[in-house]
Amino acid sequence: MGNFLADSVKGKKYLEYAPEVQKGILMHRFIDHFTDTHPVTATMKQRLRPRFHHYAPVVVDVFFDHFLAKNWAYYSQIPLDQFIRETYFRLETESSAFPEKSKQILKYMRMHDWLTAYSSIEGIGIVMTQMSRRTSFASGMEQGAEALREHYDEHEMDFRRFFPELQNACLQFNTR
């Protein structure tokens, strides 16, 4: 729950939540920082910046979500469809305590089944088009599926280099 809420909980407001939710929020912030400052991510952002400008980091995150979903069985013993069902159920069960922004995100996420959509290029196209409609400025994110296809193998190799390092960093974070 904390990982889901993190983008809607600013500053020290995370202290208003239960300790396990706080840990999830802090983990999300750690993952964001690790990802944003990683050399592989920098390379991908540079590759995508001409098309997506300052939205390139968002596109990289969605591409990483795609490769994680596509290769889920390699990273988890829980089947992806079971994980998705349980995640939606847990989030919906607790949603009355969410900030309004998180409630809206969950509504769209569930309605359009983003977690399942991440596993296919077509789904990425739909998710990124929906994201593009909610941006204040022209983002170009509606071209996300096309950009993913154009350099698919390169993006996947980048993910495969990056993700094990993220996993190790998260294990270290959890042992603090």
Q: What is the pTM of this model?
A: 0.91
Asked whether the predicted pLDDT for residue 176 surpasses 80, the reply is: no
DSSP class of 8: G
Total structural domains within the chain: 1
Asked whether the predicted pLDDT for residue 152 surpasses 80, the reply is: yes
| Residue-averaged pLDDT of the chain | 94
DSSP class of 150: H
Asked whether the predicted pLDDT for residue 50 surpasses 90, the reply is: yes
pLDDT digits (tens, 9 = 90+) for 89-106: 999 999 998 999 899 999
Distance CA(109)–CA(112), nearest Å, equals: 6
Give residue 152's domain range.
2-174
Asked whether the predicted pLDDT for residue 142 surpasses 80, the reply is: yes
pLDDT score recorded for residue 29 = 96
Alpha helices in 38-151 (DSSP H): 39-52, 56-70, 72-75, 80-94, 100-111, 114-117, 121-133, 144-150
pLDDT score recorded for residue 33 = 95
Give the pLDDT band (50/70/90) at residue 134: confident
Provide mean pLDDT across the span 115-127: 95
| Cβ–Cβ under 8 Å, residues 65 and 109 | no
DSSP class of 142: G
